[in-house]
Amino acid sequence: MTNVAVGLSKDLPNGRVMRAIVGEQDLVVWRSKSGVLSAWDNRCPHRGMRLSHGFVRGEALACVYHGWHYDKTATCRYIPAHPELEPPETIKAQRFSSTEKGGLIWVSIEEQSTEPSIPDNLKAIRSISFACPMMALKQVIRDLDFTLVKDDNSGWVIQEKSDDQWMMKSIKANISLHLFFQNLSEQTCKIHALANSDCAPDTMKKMSQALEHIRRLAEKHYEVVVS
Amino acid sequence: MSFTLYDYALSGNCYKIRLFANILNVEYERIAVEFYPGAEHRSEKMLQISPAGTLPILKKDDMVLSETSAMLFWMAKNFNAADHWWPENDVAAQAQIIQWMGFASDLTATIGQGRLHALFQTPIDKDKIVKGGRAALRKIEAHLTEQSFDGFSFLTGDKPTIADIACFPYVALSPDVGANIGLDHDDYPAIRNWIYALKSLNGFIPMPGIYAMHELKDHEIDYGAQKPFKTGAAQ
C-alpha cells in the first residue's frame, strides 16, 4: 500500500483539520498555523474522541472534547483543566508518516514507504467520492466512450500507470487528467484528480463536470449489478 | 424593537435569522416557542399570529413573514445591509441568489427532515431523505468547487449573499442526521472551505450543532506561540 493519496494540498490550508481513511486506519490529518503537516490515529488518548473534530491552536492540535493539546510530535503538552500540570511524555497519539508531493497529501501507515511517484506542476482539480466499489468505478472508466471535455471530439487514451494512478490524455487537445484512486471501503472510494498545469478555469470546470458524469455512470452501473 | 422573532433554539431555519441579525448588528425581540415537545407553533395562539404553523415567524407591525427567504430579503433591504448581501443593481446576481434560496428549501426538506427525525423521532422515509440529502450536498459541493476555480469562496461570488445564509445551516448540520450515511463532511472539501469562510465572517454566532471555531478566537492563548513545545520527544 505504501503511500496513499488522501487529499489535495489546496483543500487543507494552514490551521485546518480533516479526516482520512487508509486501509482500516482512521486518521486525523492536520496542518499547523505555520504549515506543518501531520497524520495521526484519529483518536484522542484521553477519552477516544475523534481528533478530526478538533481544532488547530498555533502549532498544536486541540481535542474538541476537553481541549488537550498535542504538539507536532503527537505528544500531549497542555491539559486545560490542569493548567499548571506538565503532562507526562507518555500521553501521545499514534503518528504516521505524511508528506506532500505534486499537490497531493500522502500518508503511509506502513513502516517502510516509497516516495510517491507523481509529475510536478500539476493543477489540482478536486477530490470526489463514489458510492460504489473501486473495481466498478475503474471498469466504467475503462469502458467509457466519451469526450471528456465537450469541445474535444478527438477521443482519449487511458494510461494505467499503476493500480492507484491513471492518466487520461486527450489525443489531440493538450489536456491530461491524472486520477489517483483511494479505496475507502468495499462500497466507497475516492478519486483525487489533477490536470496539466496550463489548464484554464473553464477547462477545470469541465473536468469537474466530467467526474460528476463518471460518478453517475459508475453508481448507476453498480446499482444495476447488485440488484 | 426593530422586529419580533418567534424562535426555537434548535431550528436551523430560526438560526438563519438570528445569524443574519447578528451579522447586521440588529437588535430584535426574541420570543421562544416550544416546538418540542409542546408543538406550541401549532397552538391556536400561534396560528392566530401565523396560520402557516411553522417557525420562525418574523413580525414587524402588521407584517408577518413565515418564509426565511422573504425574511432575509426584508432584513437586507430594511437594515441597509452592505450591497453584496443583495446586489441592488445586478439582476443576474439576484437571479442566482433566488435560485440558491430555492435550493435552501430542498435542504430543509431533506437534511432538515432527517435531523428532526434524529432529534425527535419524527416519522420519515429515511432512505429517501438520506438519498435526497446526499444529492443536495453533492450539488452544492460541485458548485462550490467550480466557484473555487474562479477564486470565489461563496455561492454567487467572492462575497456572501443572503443565499449563503439560507443554505448554510442545513449543510453545516448534515452530520447530525446520522453517521456513515454519506452526510458527514469528510467527502466534501469545498463545503468544508465554505463553512470555514462563513464561520469567519464578522458577527458569526453558533447554534447547537454548529460550533464557533476556537482557532479563530485570537483573544485566547495560542499555547504553541506562548510556550514553545519541546521538540524531538517522539519519533
Q: Helix, strand, or coil here: B42?
A: helix
User: Which cell is A53 given?
Assistant: 473534530
* Residues with Cβ within 8 Å of residue A61, at least 6 apart in sequence: A17, A28, A30, A32, A38, A40, A51, A54, A55, A69, A70
CATH 3.40.30.10 boundaries in chain B: 4-81
Query: Is B189's CB within 8 Å of A190's CB?
Result: no
Q: Between A and B, how many residue pairs show a Cβ–Cβ distance under 8 A?
A: 93
Q: Which of B186, B192, B235 to mutate to test the interface with A (most CBs of A within 10 A)?
A: B186
- Could you read off the pLDDT of B82-105 as tens digits, one per residue? 999 999 999 999 999 999 999 999
Distance in angstroms (rounded) separating the CA atoms of residues B140 and B103 = 9
* pTM of structure: 0.93
Structural domains in chain A, sorted by start:
3-108 (2.102.10.10), 122-226 (3.30.310)
**Model pLDDT for residues B144-200, shown as the tens digit of each residue:** 999 999 999 999 999 999 999 999 999 999 999 998 888 999 999 999 999 999 999
Torsional sign, CA B230, B232, B233, B235: positive
The domain at B85-214 falls in which architecture? Up-down Bundle (1.20)
Going B100 to B101 to B105 to B108, the CA torsion angle's sign is positive
ipTM value: 0.94
* pLDDT tens over chain A, length 227 residues: 589 999 999 999 999 999 999 999 999 999 999 999 999 999 999 999 999 999 999 999 999 999 999 999 999 999 999 989 999 999 999 999 999 999 999 999 998 778 898 988 899 999 999 999 999 999 999 988 766 665 666 678 899 999 999 999 888 778 899 999 999 999 999 999 999 999 999 999 999 999 999 999 999 988 877 76
Pair A1, B183: CB distance under 8 Å: no
* pLDDT confidence band for B217 (50 / 70 / 90): low
Q: Between chains, do B225 and A58 touch, taking CB under 8 Å as contact?
A: yes
Cβ-Cβ contacts under 8 Å, B229 against chain A: 59-60, 71-73, 75, 77
* A26: Cβ contacts below 8 Å, ≥ 6 apart: A19, A41, A42, A43, A50
Domain with CATH 1.20.1050.10 in chain B: 85-214
Report the pLDDT value the prediction gives residue A149, as an integer from 0 to 100: 60
Q: What is the pLDDT of residue A152?
A: 65
Report the SS3 class of residue B44.
Answer: helix
CATH code for the part of the protein at B4-81: 3.40.30.10
For A201, name the nearest residue in chain B, comparing CA atoms only.
Answer: B149
Facing A58 at nearest CB: one of B182, B213, B224: B224
Identity of residue A115: E
pLDDT of residue A153: 67
Nearest to B223 among A60, A190, A208 (CB): A60
| Phi and psi torsions of A122, nearest 5° | -90, 160
Please name which of B235, B159, B140, B147 lies closest in space to residue B200, comparing C-alpha atoms: B159
Residue-wise DSSP of A177-201? EEEEEEE-SSS-EEEEEEEETT--H
Nearest to A62 among B214, B230, B232 (CB): B214
State the cell numbers at A31.
496542518
Q: What is the pLDDT of residues A176-206, one digit of tens each?
A: 999 999 999 999 999 999 999 999 999 999 9
